[in-house]
Amino acid sequence: MSLWPTEPMVQASLVAIILVSIGIIFTLTYFKKWGWLWREWITTVDHKKIGIMYLICALLMLFRGGVDALLMRIQLAFPDLQFLDAQHYNEIFTTHGTIMILFMAMPFLFAMFNIVVPLQIGARDVAFPYLNAVSFWLFFFGALLFNISFVLGGAPDAGWVNYPPLSELTFSPGPGIDYYLLSLQISGIGSIATGINFLVTILKMRAPGMSMMRMPMFSWSVLASCIVIIFAFPALTAALALLSLDRIVGTHFFTMLHGGNPMMYMNLFWIWGHPEVYIVILPAYGVFSEVVSTFSKKRLFGYKSMVASLLLISVASYLVWVHHFFTMGSSAGVNSFFAVASMAIAIPTGVKVFNWLFTMFRGRIRLSLPMLWMLAFIPTFALGGATGVMLAVAPADYQFHNSYFLIAHFHQVLIGGVVYGMLAGLYYWWPKMFGFQLVEKLGKWAFWLFNIGFYVCFMPQYALGLMGMTRRMYEYPSGMGWNGLNQVSTVGAFIMGIGFLLIVAQILYSIRHGKRDTTGDPWNGRTLEWSLPSPVPHYNFVRIPEVKGRDAWWMMKQEKGDEATSTPSSSIQPIHMPNSSGLPFLMSLAFFVAGFGLVFHQFALAAVGGIGIGICLFLRSLEQDEGYMLSPKEIRRIESAQGRL
């Protein structure tokens, strides 16, 4: 099989990829930046840098997923359009969904975990810095493997849920599905490691005095999300592994012949899949909790009930998975159980919404960008939750299932919840990451366009769903009465696209013109990350702070006033730091090679990758990595450059 594609669209993408790669290589060589890239980024184990790398990847993937979305919306703008053929449409909705959940939402969250959690809990790094780098590079190479599929052999085309028997070898013989299986498997291992890493970080590395009930709400939400990752992701690992065995070894787990049972895949997939939606939404709740209290200049209302509802949701998220296939013939008893359980999740969610509202009540509200996204989130998410409850009514779901009503529901919770949440977090913590603020004006334009675009795009889809338009159709005849609403929806999608571009423009413009953040505390924040200079030095805290209550930084400011930020020079002690390492990158590269070999059933290549992984593991195991000490002199130099001495 020749790898050079024959279709114009694929050829164009390939040429674009090659040109961009050449451009990057040229720029790096011209400016002699290879050594810098290797030392400062590729081998780093610093959680803040890893967070920034996650962020860049997430934004790139948001762009790619967004382009996919616009292509689909163009195709659906008019009846009988021939813009995309059926095969391309299938590939594009599959890559769109998979990328948005696994290669956009997940790294966006992990960016926030990495950048914020250690700073909020007063730690110098995560529990396992080396493992953290492994997680990132596994994600990176998983995403890379997924993204090259479109130009090398064909993208997966069985939907982001990848149900058998369609995804079995008999019906999908090409490499597309294998790309899906292996890239998700590789990045999934990284996600599990991240879950473990941050749970241990939060449990074991809090500053003295920070009891669990004094922990900032974002860190609580990360804790809840990590618990769900730990108990849900292995089910995805299993589902992917068994389907891979079917395809590569010839077993019969989910085939139509020899006793296979495709329903088993669906169960395993959604035992991960439903908790997954809570993995991505819980940290967004956390961001909103931080934002609402900072920008209302008040303590978070109902802290304890916030914690309780987070934990309740994380447990309950395991008890609802069957609502994704009410129509597949379970008994009425089973369907009823899962229907009621699904609806029950709305209760703790409602508690949180009221707590946010009460936090704002009589607060001194500032309408900065993070707060705007927070405010837009509440009605959007409430409506999304309400349609969720409608879908959870099992008999009614026979009507809604797999229609555009469902599409509108989950975009409303995922965009209105997760994307708004991550954007709020991005704006909120941006100065902390980069040391300058993003200009408000462009951001406000982006905000309004994105929001209006959202409603214009998705409200019509509820109606289309009720009018019988099913998901995943690549064209529809005129005369169904769907034309107008589809056109409106496409217009909305483009408005959102412009909104996204304005965010990019805002970032680029602010790099030159943004206001420097010299205080480290531009929003008058309440939690410990705002006690540090921006950007934060690589050791985070000169001295690990003593925490005396919730909103620790706020209390310190009340107590000490302007003195709160300065460090007495005499108190500076040497700091123990972990060493950088190239092994996480190399090991993940080996994973990539092994995955690529398996995609094309080239077992020799896969074995080379496998041996590479083994060697890296062994080298790491034999390494006595004790880190290094940062001298007080060096620390004093850095601190005084930040004006902190």
Residues at the contact surface with other proteins, assessed by CB under 8 A:
127-128, 192, 195-197, 199-200, 203-205, 230-235, 237-239, 242, 245-246, 249-253, 255, 257-261, 264, 268, 271, 618, 621-622, 624
Q: Which does 414 bind (CB under 5 to 8 A by kind): Cu ion, ligand HEM, other proteins, none?
A: ligand HEM
Q: Which does 406 bind (CB under 5 to 8 A by kind): Cu ion, ligand HEM, other proteins, none?
A: ligand HEM
- Spatial separation of the C-alpha atoms in residues 163 and 240, rounded to whole Å: 11
- Spatial separation of the C-alpha atoms in residues 600 and 138, rounded to whole Å: 20
- CB 191 to other proteins: min, Å: 11
- Spatial separation of the C-alpha atoms in residues 317 and 372, rounded to whole Å: 29
Q: What amino acid occupies position 634?
A: E
Q: Does 247 participate in binding ligand HEM (rule CB under 6 A)? A: no
The reply to whether omega before 535 is within 30° of 0 (cis) is yes
Residue 248-277 contact track with ligand HEM, rule CB under 6 A, x = bound: -----------------------------x
- CB 274 to Cu ion: min, Å: 4
**What residue is closest to Cu ion based on CB?**
274
Residue closer to Cu ion, measured from CB, 410 or 445: 410
- CB 11 to ligand HEM: min, Å: 31
In the chain, what's the furthest Cα-to-Cα distance?
A: 80
Q: Does 274 participate in binding Cu ion (rule CB under 5 A)? A: yes
The beta-strand segments (E) located in 296-449 are none
456, 491 contact by CB (below 8 A): yes
Residue closer to Cu ion, measured from CB, 265 or 500: 265
- CB 381 to ligand HEM: min, Å: 8
- Spatial separation of the C-alpha atoms in residues 458 and 490, rounded to whole Å: 9
Burial of residue 31 (number of CB atoms within 10 Å: 0-12, 13-18, 19+) = exposed
Residue closer to ligand HEM, measured from CB, 359 or 412: 412
- CB 163 to Cu ion: min, Å: 15
Cα-flanking dihedrals φ and ψ of residue 453, to 5°? Answer: -55, -40
Residue closer to ligand HEM, measured from CB, 146 or 269: 269
Distances from the Cα of 555 to the Cαs of 155, 273, 606, in angstroms? 53, 41, 56
- CB 236 to Cu ion: min, Å: 14
DSSP secondary structure string, 191-222?
Answer: HHHHHHHHHHHHHH-PPTT--GGGS-HHHHHH
Q: Which does 391 bind (CB under 5 to 8 A by kind): ligand HEM, Cu ion, other proteins, none?
A: ligand HEM
Residue closer to Cu ion, measured from CB, 206 or 274: 274
- Spatial separation of the C-alpha atoms in residues 126 and 141, rounded to whole Å: 22
Residue closer to other proteins, measured from CB, 204 or 513: 204
Q: Which does 258 bind (CB under 5 to 8 A by kind): ligand HEM, other proteins, Cu ion, none?
A: other proteins
Q: Which of residues 519-558 bind ligand HEM (CB under 6 A)?
A: none
- Spatial separation of the C-alpha atoms in residues 123 and 545, rounded to whole Å: 9
Q: Which of residues 388-427 bind ligand HEM (CB under 6 A)?
A: 388-389, 391-392, 397, 400-401, 406, 409-410, 413-414, 417-418
Please write down the HEC assignment for all residues of 75-141.
HHHCCCCCCCCHHHHHHHHHHHHHHHHHHHHHHHHHHHHHHHHHHHCCCCCCCCHHHHHHHHHHHHH
Q: Which does 314 bind (CB under 5 to 8 A by kind): ligand HEM, Cu ion, other proteins, none?
A: none
- Spatial separation of the C-alpha atoms in residues 635 and 388, rounded to whole Å: 52
Chosen residue from 64, 324, 352, 526 binding ligand HEM by CB under 6 A? 324
Q: Does 401 participate in binding Cu ion (rule CB under 5 A)? A: no
Q: Which does 392 bind (CB under 5 to 8 A by kind): ligand HEM, Cu ion, other proteins, none?
A: ligand HEM
331: Cβ contacts below 8 Å, ≥ 6 apart: none
- Spatial separation of the C-alpha atoms in residues 231 and 221, rounded to whole Å: 16
Q: Does 88 participate in binding Cu ion (rule CB under 5 A)? A: no
Residue closer to ligand HEM, measured from CB, 465 or 578: 465
Cα-flanking dihedrals φ and ψ of residue 28, to 5°? Answer: -60, -40
Rg (CA), the chain: 25
Residue closer to Cu ion, measured from CB, 28 or 343: 343
Residue closer to ligand HEM, measured from CB, 28 or 389: 389
**Closest by CA position to 68, among listed 106, 13, 111, 15:** 13
- CB 101 to Cu ion: min, Å: 12
**What residue is closest to ligand HEM based on CB?**
388
Candidates 8-16, 173-181, 387-395, 456-464: pick the segment binding ligand HEM (CB under 6 A): 387-395
Applying CB under 5 A, what is the total number of residues that bind Cu ion?
1
Q: Does 96 participate in binding Cu ion (rule CB under 5 A)? A: no
**Closest by CA position to 538, among listed 46, 119, 52:** 46
Handedness of CA 41, 43, 48, 53 (dihedral sign): positive
Q: Does 186 participate in binding ligand HEM (rule CB under 6 A)? A: no
Residue closer to ligand HEM, measured from CB, 130 or 146: 146
- CB 124 to other proteins: min, Å: 13
Q: Quick one: the chain helix, strand, coil %, rounded to 5?
A: 70, 0, 25
- Spatial separation of the C-alpha atoms in residues 544 and 124, rounded to whole Å: 8
- Spatial separation of the C-alpha atoms in residues 64 and 83, rounded to whole Å: 18
Residue closer to Cu ion, measured from CB, 232 or 419: 232
Please work out, in degrees rounded to the nearest 5, the angle formed at the alpha carbon of residue 388 by the alpha carbons of 383 and 393. Answer: 130
**Closest by CA position to 275, among listed 214, 307, 323:** 323
- CB 355 to ligand HEM: min, Å: 16
Residue closer to ligand HEM, measured from CB, 156 or 431: 156
Residue 331-370 contact track with ligand HEM, rule CB under 6 A, x = bound: -----------xx-xx--x---------------------
Q: Does 281 participate in binding ligand HEM (rule CB under 6 A)? A: yes
**Closest by CA position to 488, among listed 404, 567, 415, 426:** 404
- CB 410 to Cu ion: min, Å: 9
Q: Which does 382 bind (CB under 5 to 8 A by kind): Cu ion, other proteins, ligand HEM, none?
A: none
Q: Does 409 participate in binding Cu ion (rule CB under 5 A)? A: no
Interface contacts to Cu ion, rule CB under 5 A = 274
Residues of the shown chain interacting with ligand HEM in the complex, contacts defined by CB under 6 A? 161, 277, 280-281, 323-324, 342-343, 345-346, 349, 385, 388-389, 391-392, 397, 400-401, 406, 409-410, 413-414, 417-418
